[in-house]
Amino acid sequence: MLVKPRVATLPVVETFHSVQGEGFWSGTNAFFIRLAGCDVGCPWCDTKHSWPMAHHPKREISELVFEAAAKRPFMVVITGGEPLIHNLTTLTSELRKANLRIHLETSGSHPLSGEFDWISLSPKIFKPPLDTPKNNIYRQADELKVVISEPRDLVWAENQSQKVSAQTVRLLQPQWTSKLGQQLVCKHVLAHPEWRVGLQTHKYLRVR
C-alpha cells in the first residue's frame, strides 16, 4: 500500500465559518477547511476551481488549526476537492489536540488517513471508492450521500448502499440544477424508506 508522507502544509482553497448545508448534520455550526485537489471529474461539480492544487496557496497546518479554534465551532468539516488526496494525519491530530470535533467529506477514491468523528462518503461513479481489504472506507462511513441527476444514479446508489453498514445514514441528494434528480429522489425515498432526501440547504439560504 502506498503511504503518503505526513505534511506540515496543505493547499487550501478557502476556510470559512458557516452552517453545514447538507447531509445528516445540516444546519450545524461548522468551520470548513476546503482543500485543493481533485481527480474525480464529476461533470456537474460545483467546486471545479478546487481541482488544480497548484492554483491554491499552501498553508501551515498550525495556522489552520488556530483559525478553526478561534471560531469555537461545533465541528470542523474537512472538504474539497477530494481531501483524501492528501495525508490528513497531521491535520486531524492537531485539530484533536485543540479539542475540535472533526468531520470528513470524501468520495472515498483515495486511501483514508487521519481520525474523524464523522465520515460522510459521497461515492462517485466517475472514480469509485477504494474497495480493497486494506483500503475500504465503506465500513467506516457514518453517512452515505449519493448525488442523483439521472436514473442510473439510483442504480449506483443502491449498489453503494449494499457496501455500507446497516447503521449508516443513507441520503439521496438531488443534483442542484436537476429537476429530474428532484423527482427521482422523492419517488425513490417513498418506495425505499431506508433512504432520506438530502438537500443543499446552504444554496437555498445563499450562504457558503
Closest contact distance (angstroms) between CB of 41 and ligand SF4 is 6
Q: Is residue 145 within the footprint of ligand SF4 (CB under 6 A)?
A: no
Closest contact distance (angstroms) between CB of 70 and ligand SF4 is 27
* Beta carbons within 8 Å of 72's beta carbon, 6+ residues apart: none
In the three-class reduction of DSSP (H, G, I as helix; E, B as strand; rest coil), residue 158 is classed as: helix
Q: Which is nearer to ligand SF4, 90 or 107 (CB)?
A: 107
DSSP character string of 75-104: EEEEESS-GGGS--HHHHHHHHHTT--EEE
Closest contact distance (angstroms) between CB of 66 and ligand SF4 is 26
From 4-12, 37-45, 160-168, 172-180, give the range in contact with ligand SF4 by CB under 6 A.
37-45
Pick out residues in 114-143 that bind ligand SF4 (CB under 6 A). Answer: 124
| Cα–Cα distance list, 148 to 49, 133, 174, 190 (Å) | 22, 28, 5, 15
Single-letter amino acid, residue 175? Q
Closest contact distance (angstroms) between CB of 52 and ligand SF4 is 12
| Cα–Cα distance list, 67 to 64, 100, 141 (Å) | 5, 12, 27
Q: Which three cell numbers stand for residue 65?
A: 488549526
Binding-site string for ligand SF4 from residue 52 to residue 91, where x marks contact by CB under 6 A and - marks none? ----------------------------xxx---------
Q: Which is nearer to ligand SF4, 50 or 92 (CB)?
A: 50
Rounded CA-CA distance 22/174 in Å is 11
Query: 69: closest CA among 89, 90, 88, 96?
Result: 96
Q: Is residue 173 within the footprint of ligand SF4 (CB under 6 A)?
A: no
Q: Which is nearer to ligand SF4, 18 or 93 (CB)?
A: 18
Q: Which is nearer to ligand SF4, 192 or 202 (CB)?
A: 202
Contact assessment for residue 162 and residue 150, using Cβ atoms and an 8 Å cutoff = no
Helix axes of 89-97 and 61-70: crossing angle, nearest 10 degrees: 40
Q: Which is nearer to ligand SF4, 87 or 106 (CB)?
A: 106
Closest contact distance (angstroms) between CB of 109 and ligand SF4 is 7
**By the criterion CB under 6 A, which residues form the site for ligand SF4?**
38, 40-42, 45, 47, 50, 80-82, 107, 124
